[in-house]
Amino acid sequence: AQSVTQPDIHITVSEGASLELRCNYSYGATPYLFWYVQSPGQGLQLLLKYFSGDTLVQGIKGFEAEFKRSQSSFNLRKPSVHWSDAAEYFCAVGPYSGNTPLVFGKGTRLSVIA
Amino acid sequence: EAGVTQFPSHSVIEKGQTVTLRCDPISGHDNLYWYRRVMGKEIKFLLHFVKESKQDESGMPNNRFLAERTGGTYSTLKVQPAELEDSGVYFCASSQDPRTSGLYNEQFFGPGTRLTVL
């Protein structure tokens, strides 16, 4: 069965520090991979997605993620965190089919301190 | 263009009462999804509409949950009677038909409805 693991429930980083949020997936075929962010009071916003091709994917707000097939990972990174990045981050996987639902991880809450 | 909207944003009800959640997808999006996040757990799929038809309702937890999408526009999710374990955040998402815009369509999410059952 498809599954997504985000091992870190809560991470705190200092503003300006680098960030890496971990995501591992279990899927029988080549997956589509996504990172979503939910800020307080907001819906889930797509940060970036990986379908195929270059394994380093650039997203919005300065985020990037790297797909590593050998490790079944799709970790999210940002070189310098801003206070406005404090939010909850969700990794998700979707199969190669246009309308099927997403499978999400449990999310990682990011706190940013001065 | 307006995004996916959900109403209400919060609902607090007593166990045994009925609650109806509403989702308005992005105009023109044939696909509509309901997901739920119970506290501390992952966001889980409930069901998927294509226009007014239920394409997949494998994630619906039990028959206390009833989803409709009359006319293929907005959707409602009714919980009757509500139980304590129904508490959580209910998300709605919509996407276009991939036949018109590509193999995969991004699902656009609404802000969610936070349901608390006391």
pLDDT digits (tens, 9 = 90+) for B10-69: 999 999 999 999 999 999 899 999 999 998 888 999 999 999 999 999 999 999 999 999
How many whole angstroms separate alpha carbon A59 and alpha carbon A61? Answer: 7
What is the average pLDDT value for chain A, to the nearest integer? 91
DSSP label at residue B99: H
Amino acid at A89: Y
* pLDDT higher at A94 or A68: A68
- Residue A53 has a pLDDT of 84
The closest CB to that of A101, out of B4, B45, B103, belongs to B45
Residue B70, pLDDT above cutoff 90? no
- Residue A62 has a pLDDT of 95
Burial of B22 (0-12, 13-18, 19+ CB in 10 A): middle
A93-97, A104-108, B68-72, B108-112: least confidently modelled range: A93-97
Residue A52, pLDDT above cutoff 90? no
Q: What are phi and psi of A28, to 5 degrees?
A: -75, -20
- Residue A15 has a pLDDT of 97
How many whole angstroms separate alpha carbon B77 and alpha carbon B65? Answer: 7
Host H or E run for residue A84: none
- Residue A60 has a pLDDT of 94
- pLDDT confidence band for A82 (50 / 70 / 90): very high
The closest CB to that of A104, out of B42, B55, B110, belongs to B42
A46 part of contact set with chain B, CB < 8 Å = yes
Rounded to a whole number, what is the distance in Å from the CA of A113 to chain B's nearest CA?
23
- Residue B103 has a pLDDT of 59
B111 part of contact set with chain A, CB < 8 Å = yes
A32 part of contact set with chain B, CB < 8 Å = yes
- Residue A100 has a pLDDT of 76
